[in-house]
A and B are shown apart, each in its own frame.
Chain A
Amino acid sequence: MTIHSPFTPSIDEVNAPFYEGAANGELCIQRCESCGQHRHPPQQRCPNCHSDKVGWSVPKGSAKIFSFVIAHPPLPAGFAEIAPVPVALVELDDIAGIRLVGTLLDVGDRTPQIGDSVVVVFESVAGGPILPHYRFA
């Protein structure tokens, strides 16, 4: 089992394009090059046709909040300083069925709601690497 520090994702040959894309400001979603089905998180084989041929789609990055939490302390250093931390599970608008987790940034006084429109942003949160997070559209 790969071990990593809690703020640093475990990067391997399967998921590396996701992180390289994020560093370059692109949201990269794994796609089967044989049957075209998308999947996230990245994995080695297509669960539909078992092909290991992989491509990456770059959706617009607009999404709807499927659910969210607001995390309060105790939290580790980094997140403790910016608590309470809203974190969302979002559903992409233009790739059906794909969900991603990200911090909701710059919410201000607004209370998030399920169904709210958000857009992906690429930022470092809590001192971590640049990753896809979300802002209200």
Chain B
Amino acid sequence: MGADQTLADKAAIVGIAQSPFVKNIGRSEAAVAVDVVLSALKDAGIDPKEVDGWCSSDMESNYEVDLAREVGAEKMRFFSRIPYGGGGACAMLGQAALALTHHLCDVVVVWRARNRGSGQRPWAATQQPAWTSWNRPYGLFRPVDEVAMVARRYLYNYGVTREELAHVALTLRNYAQNNPNALTQGRTMSMDDYLNVRMISEPLCLYDCSLETDGGVAIVLTRSDRGKDLTETPVFIHAQAQGANGGYTQMTNFYVADPLAGPPGLAAKELWARSDIGAKDIDVAQFYDVFSTLILFQLEDYGFAPRGEAARFVANGTIALGGAIPTNTAGGSLSEAYVHGFNLITEAVRQLRGDAVNQVPNAQHALVTSGGHCAPTSAVVLRS
């Protein structure tokens, strides 16, 4: 361990906002994006005209110039896009921190608006990118099929049962019951519910999959000296990392020597090497969870469980409130909403501000990840 002194804690999250998370928001992604950007700036107490940095996903439909025009920003000095879908969210915080620390700009908005609940399923589009050639024509049509292939091998190697895997979905659904913003609030889940629901791509069932959601999230960052003046509860970017192993293929990692050793292992190594806060110091984690098994891989890759043991840790309450590492405490992508993992960031910020619905007492250090093993990944350590 050893913090990167040029970056550690030099930038801070000072504003967050999110739209309602629903199946059909009934508005355009453009309208939702403008709403959440303005709301996050209001939360930060920063005049929108001051925004001079923008960062989002290369899948985002709204352009920086359009948002800048909508909010009346006076100039744009930094803008960047991160590829690989859900793998990018934490990397955007990292890019924002880099740009702020090097005085490339003063106020950065990171945002994502996505009508994935009411809009088309990307895998159902009649035009597909070339990399899908090795998957789609053979029947691996959806992200769930690509992830289930590696999940099967993991469950087989370590003798993990469906009853053990179920505890990921059950724990997150339980968190969501206290969260009025969660799509599944009021819909409890029992072990019988889990074991009897329909399979989507065996070994994964419906409840191992994230929620198709319409929604938007925005996050405002500035340099920490100003952040401390703006709010009593700035959330500092302590460390950040991106990672993917050599030989990686989009969404799959099927062709390397060990397909179970994916991007999170590399990102974790980089992250902890740049951080004075280690895994043992993390009070709350938000692991990218587009599918349940990603949480198991990441608990192991980030050092919270020995290889092959994560499912038993989860079954023993490790990721529940009161456990060693409360995880995805708003319900995560499985039970709150799937907004490409951006809602995991806002939940981490609420935990560190002390106003989460499932508050971890005195939470000071949070880990957030993006992408898991099914995309080139990124991660941040946040501290209050």
Contact = CB atoms under 8 A, between A and B. Distances in A.
Interface in B192-247: 198-204, 246-247
Contacts of A108: none
A72 B198 contact: yes
Contacts of B307: none
Nearest to B257: A97
A125 B152 contact: no
Given A4-B133, A70-B199, A97-B257, A89 B139 contact: no
Contacts, number: 115
Q: How large is the interface on B (under 10, 10 to 19, 20 to 34, 35 or more residues)?
A: 35 or more
Contact of B141 (A6, A15, A47, A84): A6
Contacts of A89: 149, 254
Contact of A66 (B139, B140, B153, B204): B153
A71 B130 contact: no
A89 B253 CA distance: 11
B255 A67 contact: no
A84 B145 CA distance: 12
Interface residues of A, number: 42
B148 interface: yes
Instruction: Label chain B's interface by main secondary structure.
Output: mixed
A69 B152 contact: yes
Contacts of A101: 134-135, 138, 140, 149, 254
A6 B249 contact: no
B152 A72 contact: no
B359 interface: no
A63 B52 CA distance: 56
Instruction: Label chain A's interface by main secondary structure.
Output: loop
Contacts of B246: 47
Contacts of A47: 246-247
A3 interface: yes
Nearest to B133: A9
9 contacts: A9-B137, A69-B145, A72-B200, A72-B202, A87-B138, A87-B140, A99-B254, A101-B134, A102-B138
Interface of A: 1-10, 12, 15, 40-41, 47, 66-72, 74-76, 79, 84-85, 87, 89, 97, 99, 101-103, 114, 125-126, 128-129, 131, 133
Interface of B: 121, 123-130, 132-142, 145, 148-150, 152-153, 156, 198-204, 246-247, 249, 254-255, 257, 259
